[in-house]
Amino acid sequence: YEGRAQLVVGNQNQTAGRFYPSNIQEDVATILQTGLAINPQTEVLILKGEGVFEAGLRKVATAKNDPGLLAKKEDLYNMYDVVSGQDSGAALVRARAYNPDDAAALAGAIADSYNEIRQAKQQEAVQSAVKYLEEQSGKAKNELESAEEAFKKEKETLGMPEIAANVT
């Protein structure tokens, strides 16, 4: 029996319209880029990987309370395939099993596992970008304080009056 799931694994780079370079600085965009799907061929290879398959199989085994499915991992993986065109942004997950329910559940669970992995990578990239921006904000604050202190000292050296004090 064969279960199928169709996935979109298209290009998510900056030039694909997901991010707007005028709104995001290049250094931040570079950090965010690490979490995006770069090309469909790579994404299909990730989908074909044993890790994504095993994550899906574990989901099915847990949901069905059937640890025996995990024992069949090698056989089920050998029957598993992902089909995609040369430059296609879509992939067809074909999971085969010994009964129709397992096949359908496995195809869906593999698609879910892939989406969770992709989403986790994007969240990691966003967290890295936020951390980077927080560090930059701290540095900018320190630089501003140093510049204000230097300005104040320079005004004292030149004997310039404090405008706020004169107004008062």
pLDDT of residue 168: 60
- What's the whole-model pTM score? 0.73
CA distance 161 to 141: 26
pLDDT (tens digit, 9 = 90+) per residue, 54-110? 999 999 999 999 988 999 999 999 999 999 887 778 889 999 999 999 999 999 999
- Comparing 11 with 1, the larger pLDDT belongs to 1
Least confident of 38-42, 55-59, 111-115, 150-154: 38-42
Give the mean model confidence (pLDDT) for residues 145-154: 87
Say if residue 127's pLDDT is above 70.
yes
Work out the mean pLDDT of the chain and round it to a whole number.
85
Q: Which two tokens stand for residue 90?
A: 């879509």
Rg (CA), the chain: 27
